[in-house]
């Protein structure tokens, strides 16, 4: 079991409607593919000495879990030139064209998150869904 009998798990999930799922993801992608999000993600990349001159961020919608037709929004940094990065005691080498996954966000539907929790042997005790229906919190307990 993922939890002991007396444990609780507070889980946050990004949601999309099951009707028009692909069209909804196209709209959600725009919430990520914008200057503010790029600046936020580059903050992490700059800590690795990666600059915009080294390449570009590319946002996409990718297939994730094919059993549930679950997809995710991704942001990958694609190197435009060869780059070496010192990471603690290691040196990482990237060639032009290689990528680093910087961010991803699975988009569940109400049905897929419930199935995911059920197959994980979790029971929803309470839930809170944002007015937009795109974000939710689930208070879970171990299923008996």
pLDDT in tens, 88-134: 999 999 999 999 999 999 999 999 999 989 988 899 999 999 998 88
Mean pLDDT of 7-19: 92
Q: Is the pLDDT of residue 64 over 80?
A: no
Extended strands (E) in the chain: 8-14, 55-65, 70-79, 83-87, 90-94, 99-107, 122-129, 135-142
Edge-first strand order for the sheet with 122-129 is 8-14, 135-142, 122-129
Q: Is the pLDDT of residue 66 over 90?
A: no
Average pLDDT of the chain is 92
């Amino acid at each position: 079991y993922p939890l002991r009998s007396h444990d609780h798990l507070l889980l946050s999930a990004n949601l999309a409607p099951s009707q028009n799922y692909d069209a909804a993801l196209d709209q959600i992608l725009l919430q990520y593919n914008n200057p503010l999000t790029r600046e936020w993600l580059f903050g992490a990349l700059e800590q690795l000495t990666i600059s915009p001159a080294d390449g570009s961020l590319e946002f996409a919608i990718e297939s994730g879990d094919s059993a549930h037709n679950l997809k995710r929004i991704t942001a990958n940094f694609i190197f435009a030139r060869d780059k070496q990065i010192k990471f603690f005691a290691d040196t990482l080498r990237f060639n032009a064209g290689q990528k680093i996954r910087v961010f991803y966000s699975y988009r569940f539907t109400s049905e897929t998150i419930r199935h995911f929790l059920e197959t994980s042997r979790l029971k929803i005790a309470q839930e809170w869904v944002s007015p937009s229906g795109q974000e939710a919190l689930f208070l879970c307990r171990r299923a008996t």
